[in-house]
Every structure is written in C-alpha cells, then in structure tokens.
Structure 1
Amino acid sequence: MSSTRTSNLKAMILAAGRGERMRPLTDDRPKPLVTLRGRPLIEYPLRALAAAGVRAFVVNLGYRGAQIREHLGDGSRFGVRIDYSDEGDPALETGGGLHKALPLLGGGAFIVANADVYTHYPWAALIERAAALPADVEAHLVLVPNPAHRPQGDFALVDGRLVEPAPDAAPTATFSGLSVLRASLFDGCEPGRFPLAPLLRAAARRGAVSAERYDGLWSDVGTPQRLAELERELGA
C-alpha cells in the first residue's frame, strides 16, 4: 500500500459512552481514560493505528469528554492529528455518533475502533482492508469468537460475508468493535441518537458487508472484572 493512501486514511475512535458497567471506576472519569497496565485504554488503539501509519483521527466525546480532550490534545505527542466530535451527554449511540462525525471523516472509507477494546489484532491488516475495500462493500467487520458474556454472538459469517437473516444453524461470531466503514452506509440517516447494528444488518441483506474472524487476543474491557482478568492475562 502506498504511503499516500495511508496518509489519506482516517480513523475514528469511539469514546463517548457513559461506561455504566465500569462503575465505580467511571464515577470521576470517562471509560476511555480507565487505565490498563498504567496506560489509558484509548491510547492502545490510538498508538497501534499510529504505528501502522494512520495520521488523522477523529474522537467522539460524551460523558466527561473534556478530560479526553485534555489528555490527548491535538495528537501531536502521538505523532498524529486529532479532531473531536462533541456529542454532549448523553451521547448519540454508535450510529448517531458516526453520522455526526462524517464531515470530519471525509468521503472515503475510514477505520472505526472502540476505545475500550484491547486486542493483538494486526492493525496494518485493517488498513490494507480500508485501502482495498471493493466498491460494492459498505462495511468490513472484524469478528471474534463469542465471549462468555455474549454467547449468542452478533452476526453470521459465511464465506467472508455477513449473512442476514442468519441461515439456520449458521455459526455466529461477535463484533469486535473494529471495522472499516463507508460514508454511504449512512445514506438516508437523519441526525440524532441511533445504533449502528440495524444499518449493518440492512447492508448485509444487500450483500454489502464483508467480514473476517480473528481468533487472537481480544477483550471488550466493559467491566472492572474484565479489566482485572485482562491485567492478569497480560501479566501486569
């Protein structure tokens, strides 16, 4: 992939959630600033994508968002540029937040990552996916094996595509929070609060969502218990 294509690629880190399940750790700070091995959660995807070549980021803000802006600044200390999409509190949910941020993300494909996901997924592979996303694909998702807290999974993956509705007995997998999206996924949406999943399911019915399964280390750091488990797994 050329350096020009990489330099034009933008990534959005979703950081606006309230973090209710992470209380009491989020009573005085937003969940993305909860620390794992002494580093705020949001820095892990930010640093990993920066190391893989992404130079332009958008971070959405909600609950105690000023703390995130103060911590990350303009991104210069990470070697990147960060723009902010301030949603207020309560935030706009994933779909509404992405829709609001589209003017900052440009018209091409862009990467999306949840601030509270820790993974050893090879981020450079996601950048390659974004650079080579077929014209008829509106979204590419990274799926993971269903964790104990979500045994039913989210989507059926068949031959590299999301299939909706899921075929009988089709194996399911859980959305990892890592994806490549096109702005066209949001065509027809109105500003406001709405989830992302219905848009993905509608696009899957059109055959417009590709996906891959990642079986390596991944954690949705959604509760203090999961945070403690991950700390132990990493040997912190």
Structure 2
Amino acid sequence: MKAMILAAGKGERMRPLTLHTPKPLLPVAGVPLIEYHLRALVAAGFKEVVINHAWLGAQIEAHLGNGAGWGLNISYSPEGEPLETGGGIFKALPLLGNEPFVLVNGDVWTDYDFSRLPQKPAGLAHLVLVDNPGHHGKGDFCLQQGLVSDGQDGADTLTYSGIAVIDPALFKDCTAGAFKLAPLLRQAMAAGQVSGEHFSGHWVDVGTQERLAEVEQLIKGRR
C-alpha cells in the first residue's frame, strides 16, 4: 500500500517562517514536520511514499531525497501552479497506481498509528476524524455506525484529521486542473460510500505559529 503526503501549500498563515522555508520542513523539536509522518509510515510498514509540492518544493526534494535514509522510496509530484487538494492528488495518481492509498496532510502532527487503517475502504474513502479543535468548533462531518455523512444542523460533528484511505475510483470523473477534495468526498458520502473512525489521541493542525509551539511542547512532554 502506498501513501501520499500533501505538501504543496504555501503556509501563508505561518509567515515569516515560511517565506524561505516550505511549511513541511519547519523544525518542530528539532525535526522537520514532515519527518514525523515519514517515521510513522515506516513504523507502520509503508515502503512507497508520494509527495506533492509547489512552494519551495525543490527544498523538500533536496532534504528528503529518494527516501533511502528512512528505508522508503519517495516519488515527487511537482506542481507548477497550485492545484488544491483534489487536483494535486489527481495529478499524482499515475505514481500512486490503481489500488487504494493512504492520504496524509503534511501540515498536521499526530501520534496516530497508520497500521490501524484498512487496506481497502468499504466504499470510496475511509476518513480519520478527531474532536473539533477550538479553532474549528463547527467541525466537518458526522460519524454514525461507521459511516461518514456531511455535517447537519444540530448533529454532533467531528473534524477531518487530514488522514484517509482513498480509492482512486473517487476521481473517475475528474479532469486535470485545480479542484478541491471535499466536494468529491461529500458526493461519495451522499451515496453511503465513505466510512470513518474517531481518533482521540494527539492531533494538531499546524496552521499557525501558536500551534507550532503547541506541538513542540507536546513532543517535549512525550520525551
């Protein structure tokens, strides 16, 4: 099973830190953020990783190389122009193949065990959901009896963690260009094709300098 790490964002909310360093390479407790994902994927038995990039992407390739330092084979999907989440995944599909793959947002930090993920989703996708953080109180989706549905008024919602298993068939009607992943997921949810799980461990969306500092403290506490 292959994994894809999304690393093409500009990290504008993290400026000035990201003016000259891509967000996935920002150090957290002395280790670039993206390396925590690589270590966790290796620990779960993954061998093949695809990384997309755009902003300062050459730095990511120069730092990680072919992945041999982690026992991985890393392939890259460079984007000349921002393709958003869906478009970036679609462009990388030739590297990912025809089988379901794990998808990980490069700008989250978590102690989630990737070996828990299903090899194949029951439908078109399997999402890992977390409790709503303070900065995203409304959440994203509902989880009932193992199925994920769009957030409804009055229903208990959870937040999408940025970790998923995706069947390439989710993109069967797509064409090249910039587009978001969320509408595809919602369409699949409406057809009962998205399963999910609730993860209650450590998870932080590293979108601001304050949350970067929060992760730093979490890691130091664990050590």
TM tier relative to shorter chain:
over 0.9
Match of 1:96, SS state, is helix
Q: Which residue identity does 1:92 align to in structure 2? A: L
Distance in structure 2 (CA, Å) of the matches to 1:77 and 1:235: 24
Could you say which residue in structure 2 is the equivalent of 1:196? 181
Using the TM superposition, give the Cα deviation of residue 25 of structure 1 relative to its aligned residue in structure 2, in angstroms: 0.7
Could you say which residue in structure 2 is the equivalent of 1:116? 107
Using the TM superposition, give the Cα deviation of residue 194 of structure 1 relative to its aligned residue in structure 2, in angstroms: 0.6
Q: 2:95 aligns with which of 101, 104, 109?
A: 104
Q: Which residue identity does 1:152 align to in structure 2? A: K
Could you say which residue in structure 1 is the equivalent of 2:23? 31
Q: Does 1:93 align with 2:84?
A: yes
Q: Which residue identity does 2:121 align to in structure 1? A: L
Q: 2:125 aligns with which of 132, 139, 148?
A: 139
Could you say which residue in structure 1 is the equivalent of 2:136? 150
Using the TM superposition, give the Cα deviation of residue 169 of structure 1 relative to its aligned residue in structure 2, in angstroms: 2.2
Match runs of 1:196-235 below 5 Å:
196-235=181-220
In the TM superposition, what whole-angstrom CA distance separates every residue of 1:51-82 from its partner, at most 9, and x where no partner exists? 21100010001000000000010111110101
Do 2:120 and 2:165's aligned partners in 1 also have CA atoms closer than 8 Å?
Answer: no
Distance in structure 1 (CA, Å) of the matches to 2:128 and 2:100: 15
Q: 2:55 aligns with which of 50, 63, 66?
A: 63
Q: Which residue identity does 2:134 align to in structure 1? A: A
Q: Which runs of 5+ in 2 are unaligned?
A: none
In the TM superposition, what whole-angstrom CA distance separates every residue of 1:61-115 from its partner, at most 9, and x where no partner exists? 1000000000010111110101110112x42110000000001000010000011
Distance in structure 2 (CA, Å) of the matches to 1:232 and 1:47: 19
Q: Which residue identity does 2:96 align to in structure 1? A: L
Do 2:121 and 2:195's aligned partners in 1 also have CA atoms closer than 8 Å?
Answer: no
- Runs (4+) of structure 1 exceeding 4 A deviation are none
Distance in structure 2 (CA, Å) of the matches to 1:132 and 1:27: 39
Using the TM superposition, give the Cα deviation of residue 168 of structure 1 relative to its aligned residue in structure 2, in angstroms: 4.5
The normalised TM-score by structure 2 is: 0.96
Q: Does 1:22 align with 2:8?
A: no
Using the TM superposition, give the Cα deviation of residue 233 of structure 1 relative to its aligned residue in structure 2, in angstroms: 2.9
Q: 1:82 aligns with which of 74, 82, 85?
A: 74
Task: Tell me which moved more, 66-75 or 114-123.
Answer: 114-123
Distance in structure 2 (CA, Å) of the matches to 1:60 and 1:192: 14
The normalised TM-score by structure 1 is: 0.91
Give the number of aligned pairs.
221
Could you say which residue in structure 2 is the equivalent of 1:47? 39
Match runs of 1:142-181 below 5 Å:
142-164=128-150, 166-181=151-166
Distance in structure 2 (CA, Å) of the matches to 1:161 and 1:201: 12
Match of 2:134, SS state, is coil
Distance in structure 1 (CA, Å) of the matches to 2:53 and 2:200: 30
Task: Tell me which moved more, 167-176 or 198-207.
Answer: 167-176
Distance in structure 2 (CA, Å) of the matches to 1:144 and 1:84: 29
Distance in structure 2 (CA, Å) of the matches to 1:19 and 1:223: 9
Match of 2:136, SS state, is coil
Q: Which residue identity does 2:78 align to in structure 1? A: D
